[in-house]
Amino acid sequence: MIFHVISIFPGYFDSPLRQGVIGRAINKGIIKVNPVDLRTFTSDRHKTTDDRPYGGGAGMVMIPQPIAKAILSVKGERNDVPVILFSPAGIPFNHVVASHLARKKELILLCGRYEGVDQRVIERFVDMELSIGDYVITGGEPAALVLIDAVGRLIPGVLGCNESADNDSFATGILEHPHYTRPRRFMGMDVPEVLLSGDHKKIGEWRRKKSIEITLRRRPELLDKACLSPADIKLLDELKRDAEAK
Residue in 17, 33, 132, 154 binding ligand SAM, rule: CB under 6 A: 132
Find out whether 43 and 171 touch, Cβ atoms under 8 Å: no
Name which of 68 and 194 has its Cβ closer to ligand SAM. 68
Using rule CB under 6 A, residue 139 touches ligand SAM: yes
Give the per-residue contact string, 142-161, with ligand SAM (x = CB under 6 A; - = no): -x------------------
- Name the one range near ligand SAM by CB under 6 A: 21-29, 33-41, 49-57, 138-146: 138-146
Among 225, 169, 27, 3, which Cα is nearest to 102's?
3
Q: How many CA atoms within 13 Å lie on the side-chain side of 134?
A: 0
For β-strands 128-131 and 106-110, DSSP reports them as unpaired
Site string for ligand SAM, 80-99 (x = CB under 6 A): ------xxxx----------
Phi and psi at 128, nearest 5°, equal -150, 135
- Check binding of 115 to ligand SAM (CB under 6 A): yes
Q: Is 168 a catalytic residue?
A: yes
Measured from the Cβ of residue 34, the count of other Cβ atoms closer than 10 Å reads: 15
153 in catalytic set: yes
> Of how many residues is the chain composed?
246
Helices vs strands, H then E, count in the chain: 8, 9
Q: Does 49 bind ligand SAM (CB under 6 A)?
A: no
Q: Is 135 in the site for ligand SAM (CB under 6 A)?
A: yes
Q: Does 131 bind ligand SAM (CB under 6 A)?
A: yes
Closest CA to 20 of 9, 8, 31: 31
**Judged by CB under 6 A, does residue 111 bind ligand SAM?**
yes
Residues 166-205 vs ligand SAM: string with x where CB under 6 A? ----------------------------------------
Helices 141-152 and 20-28: angle between axes, nearest 10 degrees: 70
Q: Is 10 noted as a catalytic residue in this protein?
A: no
Q: What are phi and psi of 185, to 5 degrees?
A: -120, 130
Catalytic residue set? 88, 115, 153, 168
Q: Which residues make up the interface to ligand SAM (CB under 6 A)?
A: 86-89, 111-113, 115-116, 131-133, 135-140, 143
